[in-house]
Amino acid sequence: MLAAFHRILYHPTLAPAFASVWNQHLVTPVGTIFGARNSPSFYMEAGEARAHLAMHVPQASSLPMEDLAASVQLPPLPTPAEAALFAQAVQDSQHLGIAHAVSGNPERHLPSFVDDSCSAHCRNYIHTCINASVWAARQIFGFPIEDPHRPPCINPTKWIALVTAVVKFLGFLVDMRRMIVVWPTDKRDKLGCLLDLLFIEQSDPRGRGSSPKLVARILGLLCHGAFVAPLGVLQTLHMQFILNDVVSKAGRAPQRLRRWWNMRKIIVPLPILSDLHALRSTLDNSLY
């Protein structure tokens, strides 16, 4: 488990405040986990504390080397020809870079994502950055040797021991040498297949249309890809409105609604299909 996903207990007297009703059952939580619907507002406090400690620990290079950090391997140095193609980051008022001119010590700022799943720094300091992240997580949640019966806050079986300049993070490819974020081709292929199926169903002369489940899956992928292609949301707003309207009239019986997502049919108007066809033409196999 990652640090921010580590299970956090809270006092029993608080449990009723976060209770919920599901059908005929009263659900009273006895703990909280990252992302749960019953998560109170403080569920990220421990993760934020770990990130803050990792980024601001003084003399980070003097910390004892943690076992997970020691296992990390650096890739070969780039050739001069490869280095000449690196995109240069542009500094502005919000992004000042990792080297603070006022301190002259780039180790004073060690970027790290809140749940330990991604750390970033230049080559000379990446080992220190990763070590500070692991050390901070164990300071907050406990070292493995302290309680061997409790799962470690960072699961070693999920640990990636190879540093790379291109990493898949939160469903996107982050290329730190080109300074771009890319929607992976497997996502594009999946969306393309779903759109092709939608076009076939919508062109059926019997006019049956497509299921709400198919429409929802397409919208879900488009919303994810809109992080790097905002026009995708604009082109699908009308289809989202149609789905919302149909769902609002579906009723609330759980068993009926489960069947409804596959059985109910939606006819997508031609202007929306035209937008989707234009969007489909952009889903090629060129990664960049």
> Could you report the per-residue pLDDT of 170-196, keeping only the tens digit for each?
889 889 888 888 888 889 999 999 999
Residues 237, 158 share a domain = no
Per-residue tokens: 250? 């579906």
Asked if residue 134 is part of any domain, the answer here is: yes
Ordered DSSP codes for the chain: --GGGS-EE--GGGGGGG-EEETTEEE--SEE-TT-TT--GGGGHHHHHHHHHHHH-TTGGGSPPPHHHHT-BPPPPPPHHHHHTPPPP---SS---SS-TTTT-GGG---B-TTSS-B---GGGHHHHHHHHHHHHHHHH--GGG-TTSPPSS-GGG---B--SEEEETTEEEETTTTEEE--HHHHHHHHHHHHHHHHHHT-TT---B-HHHHHHHHHHHHHHTTT-THHHHHHHHHHHHHHHHHHTS-S-HHHHHHHHHH--BPPPHHHHHHHHHHHTT--S---
Residues 273, 196 share a domain = yes
Mean pLDDT, consecutive 10-residue stretches, the chain (288 aa), reads 52 78 82 60 74 84 91 93 88 71 55 67 87 90 84 85 87 88 90 93 83 91 84 81 85 68 86 88 80
Asked if residue 232 is part of any domain, the answer here is: yes
At 5 the pLDDT is 52
Domain end, chosen from 149, 182, 215, is at 182
At 80 the pLDDT is 94
At 198 the pLDDT is 93
pTM of the full structure? 0.66
Which pLDDT tens digit goes with each residue over 55-84? 888 888 889 999 999 999 999 999 999 999
Residues 106, 60 share a domain = yes
Residues 173, 196 share a domain = no
Asked if residue 160 is part of any domain, the answer here is: yes
At 35 the pLDDT is 57
Domain end, chosen from 164, 182, 200, is at 182
Asked if residue 73 is part of any domain, the answer here is: yes
Residues 192, 135 share a domain = no
Domain end, chosen from 143, 160, 182, is at 182
At 42 the pLDDT is 63
Which residues form the domain of 250? 185-280
Number of structural domains the chain divides into: 2
At 135 the pLDDT is 92
Asked if residue 33 is part of any domain, the answer here is: no
Residues 198, 265 share a domain = yes
Residues 99, 175 share a domain = yes
Residues 170, 63 share a domain = yes
Residues 166, 234 share a domain = no
Residues 190, 113 share a domain = no
Residues 163, 200 share a domain = no
Contact 28, 15 (CB under 8 A): yes
Residues 254, 227 share a domain = yes
Asked if residue 23 is part of any domain, the answer here is: no
Asked if residue 20 is part of any domain, the answer here is: no
Residues 166 and 184: their CA atoms lie apart, in Å, by 12
For the four alpha carbons of 55, 56, 61 and 63, in that order, the dihedral sign comes to: negative
Asked if residue 80 is part of any domain, the answer here is: yes
